[in-house]
Amino acid sequence: MLEVKSLRKEYGPLTAVKGVSFSLNPGDIFGFIGSNGAGKTTTIKMIATLLEPTSGTAVLNGADILGDPMEVRRQIGYMPDFFGLYDEVRVWEYLDFFAALYRVPSVDRPGIIDNVLELTDLTVKKGAFVQSLSRGMQQRLCLARCLVHDPALLLLDEPASGLDPRARAELKELIAELGRMGKIVIVSSHILPELADFCNSVGIIERGELLACGPVEDIIQSLQTARCLMLKSLSDPVELAAFIERLPLVQSARSHDATSVAVEFLGGLEEQADLLDAVIRQGYRVVGYSEELVDLEDVFLRLTTGAVN
């Protein structure tokens, strides 16, 4: 379990991270969202023990980042937003080097290297030089490096940046698989729709402050006071909007275009069905009825102002 407690980082008068707190359980995939300079990387680096927090701490399975950084490092796989690959080193040598750094016994290393290469689909490239790999493969190799010591927590800083759609989809699947393996995964990314696909919780950070944190649905729910319904009919939308506005639980209704009416509705699913029933009974010819779902991007845009430190 990872507990981040009031993590704060100050650089003189500048506060990069302002008391960030959250906790994650094994299997959680946490999406860390924020603009450039919001404090994501600083927070991740503090958890990775690469930066000393001004105050606050983080505890990973009982090991404190301040009190026992070496134990924390043993349990962490850190993948920054750059590759950091060596030239003239083969794929297996690169993994062997990091496995040795993480004190993996030399007798176990060949087997572990084979396993992580298989997991990241790089087995055929085992003997290749790392500089000869494509960007997507290098990204997967970096992930393989993070896995050689079987960490409990994976810190992935912008893992999908610069990848083509196929490589991105593969990476997404891989991260979801790691979550299923019981690892805690923290992923920071700008590509919000992707995060929503496989993250079961997110944290939105701006100017070092965690604006929202928790399961994706809960955050959307907490922001969404009214459901947005879209009603498409063959009738006059202005007249239909006027009718709907008089119905109970309707906050507002306005014609969206020549055929549609947008409705802000406060009721649940039952009441939604009643609303549709009332419209049809009134003789309006409805051809479409759907709820406009708020996605992570909307939530992010609503919560943040785009300000940076």
Give me the residues that bind other proteins (CB under 8 A), please: 10-13, 48-52, 70-71, 73-74, 76, 78, 80, 82-89, 93, 96-98, 100-103, 145
Give residue 143's identity as a one-letter amino acid code: L
What is the nearest approach in angstroms of other proteins to the Cβ of residue 105?
A: 12
Q: State how far the Cα of 274 lies from the Cα of 123, in Å rounded to an integer.
A: 57
Tokens standing for residue 177: 């698989």
Residue 13 or 283: the one with the smaller Cβ distance to other proteins is: 13
Residue 63 or 262: the one with the smaller Cβ distance to other proteins is: 63
What is the nearest approach in angstroms of other proteins to the Cβ of residue 182?
A: 21
Instruction: Let me know: does 125 contact 91? Beta carbons within 8 Å.
Output: yes
What is the nearest approach in angstroms of other proteins to the Cβ of residue 121?
A: 21
- 108: burial class by Cβ within 10 Å (0-12, 13-18, 19+)? exposed
Would you give the DSSP letter of residue 90? B
What is the nearest approach in angstroms of other proteins to the Cβ of residue 114?
A: 19
Residue 89 or 191: the one with the smaller Cβ distance to other proteins is: 89
Residue 113 or 202: the one with the smaller Cβ distance to other proteins is: 113
Residue 51 or 275: the one with the smaller Cβ distance to other proteins is: 51
**Sheet strands (E) in the chain:** 2-11, 14-24, 29-34, 55-60, 63-64, 76-79, 153-157, 184-188, 201-206, 209-214, 227-233, 250-255, 260-265, 286-292
What is the nearest approach in angstroms of other proteins to the Cβ of residue 179?
A: 21
Tokens standing for residue 241: 């909007």
Q: State how far the Cα of 135 lies from the Cα of 167, in Å rounded to an integer.
A: 9
Residue 53 or 203: the one with the smaller Cβ distance to other proteins is: 53
What is the nearest approach in angstroms of other proteins to the Cβ of residue 98?
A: 7
